[in-house]
């Protein structure tokens, strides 16, 4: 089954820029950006990010305000703060043996960096990988990681799998099944998340008086390290 998957991937795998490098910093950037953001949106932002900060030391030396501004449009800005802080820790102390010690790096992200950049024999389990494994009941190793991700993203879809195109279909016990829709993400419009994003956009443009801003949103952004409040002025952190 794994050989069939890899043969399919050789012909149909997505050409993504982070697959052309073994630099752990570049892979970490891609994995953090891909958290809750679609691949098509990430690709140009990833390229621009590495053009601006090509190394972990370059990012570590950057101003926090510049990092937050560069992240605009990707959402969930706390990821940018975590990535920046991780770069500062790596620049100071090197890469930890346990990557989950870095801010914002959970088990999946740590395994992805280990697999794709460090050559570790570990299979990172994201939503797509988990879905393919559970449906096919196949036994796949680390060499199949990218192939499983692509198969789950383009063929073994969450609701209506494209079984006629699947290289695992002949031996798959789930062939032909259809699935209930997953719970949709809470709508952004009118949410507190939208209020936070609006305030952050304003402050990213220029320092603002606190009296002009949503105080609850400012408080949440300050707790996340995304803004600083000095007296009655709100600005991005240095």
Q: Which of 31, 134, 180, 222 is catalytic?
A: 31
Range with the poorest average pLDDT among 83-92, 189-198, 209-218: 189-198
- Helix, strand, coil shares of the chain, percent, nearest 5, are 60, 5, 40
User: What pLDDT, on the 0 to 100 scale, is given for residue 191?
Assistant: 86
The average confidence (pLDDT) of the chain is: 94
Range with the poorest average pLDDT among 36-50, 57-71, 102-116, 178-192: 178-192
How far, in Å, CA of 40 to CA of 43, rounded?
Answer: 6
Does the annotation mark 31 as catalytic?
yes
User: What pLDDT, on the 0 to 100 scale, is given for residue 36?
Assistant: 86
Pick the CATH number of 23-116 from 1.10.340.30, 3.40.50.2000, 3.50.50.60, 2.60.40.420: 1.10.340.30
Query: Where is 234: in which H helix or E strand?
Result: strand 233-235
How far, in Å, CA of 115 to CA of 136, rounded?
Answer: 22
Residue 203 clears pLDDT 70, i.e. is over it: yes
How far, in Å, CA of 150 to CA of 156, rounded?
Answer: 9
pLDDT in tens, 93-116: 999 999 999 999 999 999 999 999
Domain residue limits, the chain? 23-116, 192-235
pTM summary value: 0.89
Residue 59 clears pLDDT 70, i.e. is over it: yes
pLDDT in tens, 214-227: 999 999 999 999 99
Residue 142 clears pLDDT 90, i.e. is over it: yes
Give the DSSP letter string of 98-133: SGGGSTT--HHHHHHHHHHTT--S-----HHHHHHH
User: Which residues are paired to 228 by β-bridges?
Assistant: 235
Query: How does DSSP classify residue 211?
Result: G
- Mean pLDDT on 12-37: 96
pLDDT in tens, 34-50: 998 999 999 999 999 99
Neighbouring CB atoms inside 10 A of 82's CB total 19
């Amino acid at each position: 089954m794994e050989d069939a998957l890899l043969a399919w991937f050789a012909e149909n795998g997505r050409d993504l820029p982070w697959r052309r490098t073994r630099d752990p910093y570049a892979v970490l950037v891609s994995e953090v950006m891909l958290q809750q953001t679609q691949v098509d949106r990430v690709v140009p932002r990833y390229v621009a990010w590495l053009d601006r900060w090509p190394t972990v030391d370059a990012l570590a030396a950057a101003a926090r305000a510049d990092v937050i501004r560069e992240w605009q449009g990707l959402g969930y800005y706390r990821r940018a703060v975590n990535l920046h802080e991780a770069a500062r820790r790596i620049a100071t102390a090197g890469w930890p043996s346990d990557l989950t010690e870095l801010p914002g790096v959970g088990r999946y992200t740590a395994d992805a960096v280990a697999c794709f950049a460090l050559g570790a024999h570990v299979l990172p389990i994201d939503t797509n990988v988990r879905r393919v494994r559970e449906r096919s009941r196949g036994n796949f190793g680390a060499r199949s990681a990218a192939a499983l991700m692509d198969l789950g993203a383009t063929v073994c879809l969450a609701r209506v799998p494209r079984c006629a195109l699947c290289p695992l279909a002949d031996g798959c016990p789930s062939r032909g099944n259809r699935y209930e829709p997953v719970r949709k993400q809470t709508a952004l419009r009118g949410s507190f998340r939208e209020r936070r994003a609006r305030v952050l956009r304003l402050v990213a443009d220029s320092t603002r008086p606190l009296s002009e801003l949503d105080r609850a949103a400012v408080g949440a952004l300050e707790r996340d390290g995304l803004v600083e409040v000095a007296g009655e002025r709100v600005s991005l952190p240095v």
